[in-house]
């Protein structure tokens, strides 16, 4: 177990599109936890849109399955900016509007543990996806298939990495019930399948992850909300083909605010993590800007 913990610790840490799931190899993964909130399932009409995400994540503990500190002297700070380009076409498939998006994380990562420190400013793994969007009155749905490509900066001998060196395939569904003069109830749910990291012979387990938002329009353009995310790893990580019994989980919550302008919107939130197992425990601050061309 000492050898395994050392191997685990020396892989820390990748961060894609922000804090990620932190429940797999090095406790990290590529799902952008907490990125989506108000109107997560309400995709816009045909056109091209630029989304800019900024996240600051800080954690000073890495806990085991009992919530006890696992890595001495642990600390991580992440600042990530993630531009995402969305193209919604006027094509209809299965009654839904066809769309595509791509995102490229830019990561500033600082890691410390057991007296060792490392930092990295680099590009993370590229994300690409196709999607379908449906609308019916105040109800909105999205179905997407997302792929994470191992294009980011990675070196197995580094303490900090911006990429993960394996592929992820991720089906996604999102839903919003949104009334302009009332409630906005939104969620985004996903399930991630990870390939093998050939440099470490480590295969990260499959996991469920989702964002949620319960908001109310207190003014025509202003929404206040309770927001957060949840992760539950459903299959264990494997090293050299052996099941090591490592599964992570987390639940996060906090306040959010959303402002809808003319052709743009801005959303901010602060989220704290709880019910954590086998991953860092910290907090995240998010900003999300949407621009229509």
* Tens digits of residue pLDDT in 203-214: 999 999 999 999
pLDDT of residue 13: 39
Contacts of 242 (CB under 8 A, 6+ apart): none
CA 161 to CA 149: how far, in whole Å? 15
pLDDT of residue 27: 59
Q: For 205, which DSSP code?
A: P
pLDDT single digits (tens) 118-149: 999 999 999 999 999 999 999 999 999 999 99
pLDDT single digits (tens) 16-51: 233 343 446 665 667 889 999 999 999 999 999 999
pLDDT of residue 15: 34
CA 86 to CA 93: how far, in whole Å? 17
DSSP lists the bridge partners of residue 267 as 258, 288
Q: State the pTM of this model.
A: 0.89
pLDDT of residue 141: 97
- 13: preceding bond cis by omega (within 30 degrees): yes
DSSP 36-49: --TTTT---SSEEE
Which residue ranges in the chain fall short of pLDDT 70? 1-29
């Amino acid at each position: 177990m000492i050898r395994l913990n050392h191997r685990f610790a020396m892989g820390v840490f990748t961060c894609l599109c922000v804090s990620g799931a932190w429940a797999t190899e090095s406790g990290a993964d590529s799902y952008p936890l907490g990125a989506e909130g108000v109107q997560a399932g309400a995709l816009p009409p045909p056109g091209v849109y630029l989304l800019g995400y900024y996240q600051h994540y800080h954690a000073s503990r890495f806990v085991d399955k009992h919530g006890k500190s696992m890595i001495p002297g642990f600390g991580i700070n992440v600042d990530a900016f993630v531009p995402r380009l969305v193209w919604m076409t006027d094509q209809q498939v299965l009654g839904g509007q066809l769309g595509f998006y791509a995102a490229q994380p830019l990561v500033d990562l600082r890691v410390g543990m057991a007296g060792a420190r490392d930092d990295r400013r680099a590009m993370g793994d590229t994300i690409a996806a196709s999607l379908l969007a449906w609308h019916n009155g105040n109800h909105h749905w999205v179905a997407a298939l997302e792929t994470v490509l191992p294009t980011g900066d990675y070196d197995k001998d580094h303490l900090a990495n911006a990429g993960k060196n394996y592929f992820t395939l991720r089906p996604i569904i999102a839903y919003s019930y949104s009334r302009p003069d009332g409630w906005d109830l939104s969620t985004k749910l996903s399930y991630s399948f990870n390939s093998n990291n050939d440099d470490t012979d480590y295969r990260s387990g499959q996991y469920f992850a989702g964002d949620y938002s319960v908001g109310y329009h207190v003014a025509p353009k202003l929404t206040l909300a309770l927001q957060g995310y949840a992760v539950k790893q459903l299959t264990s990580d494997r090293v050299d083909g052996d099941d090591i019994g490592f599964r992570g989980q987390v639940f996060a919550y906090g306040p959010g605010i959303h402002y809808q302008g003319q052709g743009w919107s801005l959303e901010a939130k602060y989220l704290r993590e709880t019910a954590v197992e086998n991953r860092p425990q910290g907090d995240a601050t998010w900003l999300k800007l949407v621009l229509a061309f």
